[in-house]
């Protein structure tokens, strides 16, 4: 199992980089007012892709904490609070085909992204603007368990997932 973890980290980081490229391409298409077929595809599949990202994020976070033994910092817990319900929310949206969940998904994902952004800022060496937690014995929010390709950390993975969900929900909302 020990030799699997570095491979898993690398593959996961490559997936995150791929997702970041997709996000940039989608926003470039939105801003350039081109690529209507691509944007329509992502808008149509927004609930499916959001469900997959939320479920994957949930399973990966549980794998890292429960199987590998990484102790989540307080900001990681807050990110989980905003990611985990998205699995249920988008599962229901897929089942019921209900566009009403867009505003709830955007709200949860936006707050989660802000927390993940701040956590990433701390992990890249930023000075704390707010305390990470009140327990002095807790894991520091600046501790990097993963640092792949010189920039991919766990909070950056979370931030990427949240931003992808916000992006495709925006596309879905815009299409309505």
pLDDT digits over 72-92, tens only?
888 999 999 999 999 999 999
CA geometry: angle 134, 136, 141, nearest 5 deg: 75
pLDDT of residue 137: 63
152 has which bridge partners? 148
Give pLDDT, residue 133: 65
Query: Using one digit for the tens of pLDDT, what is the confidence trace for 127-176?
Result: 877 777 666 566 778 788 899 999 999 999 999 999 999 999 999 999 87
Query: pTM (2 decimals)?
Result: 0.93
Q: Give the Cα separation of 106 and 86 in Å (integer).
A: 10
Q: Could you please report the per-residue DSSP string of 63-104?
A: IIIIII-PPP-HHHHHHHHHHHHHHHHHHHHHHHT-GGGHHH
Given this model, what pLDDT does residue 135 score? Answer: 63
Rounded-to-integer distance, Cα 121 and Cα 119, Å: 5
The residue with greater pLDDT, 137 or 58, is 58
By CB neighbour count within 10 A (0-12 exposed, 13-18 middle, 19+ buried), where does 21 fall?
exposed
**CATH 1.20.1550 holds for 4-175:** yes
Query: What is the rounded distance in angstroms from the CA atom of residue 36 to the CA atom of residue 55?
Result: 28
When pLDDT is averaged across residues 40-55 and rounded to a whole number, the result is 97
What is the arithmetic mean of pLDDT over 3-26?
95
Nearest-angstrom CA–CA distance, 146 and 159: 14
Round the average pLDDT of the chain to a whole number and report it.
92
Q: What is the mean pLDDT of residues 29-48?
A: 96
């Amino acid at each position: 199992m020990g030799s699997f973890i570095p491979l898993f980290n690398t593959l996961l980081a490559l997936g995150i980089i791929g997702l970041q490229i997709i996000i940039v391409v989608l926003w470039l298409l939105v801003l350039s007012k081109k690529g209507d077929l691509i944007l329509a595809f992502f808008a149509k599949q927004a609930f499916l892709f959001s469900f997959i990202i939320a479920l994957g994020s949930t399973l990966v976070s549980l794998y890292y904490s429960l199987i590998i033994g990484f102790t989540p910092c307080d900001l990681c817990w807050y990110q989980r609070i905003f990611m985990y319900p998205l699995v249920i929310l988008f599962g229901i949206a897929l089942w019921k085909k209900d566009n009403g969940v867009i505003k709830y998904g955007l709200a949860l994902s936006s707050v989660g992204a802000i927390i993940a952004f701040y956590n990433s800022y701390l992990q890249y060496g930023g000075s704390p603007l707010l305390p990470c937690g009140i327990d002095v014995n807790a894991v520091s929010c600046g501790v990097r368990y993963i640092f792949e390709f010189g920039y991919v950390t766990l909070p950056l993975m979370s931030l990427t997932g949240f931003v992808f969900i916000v992006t495709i929900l925006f596309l879905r909302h815009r299409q309505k």
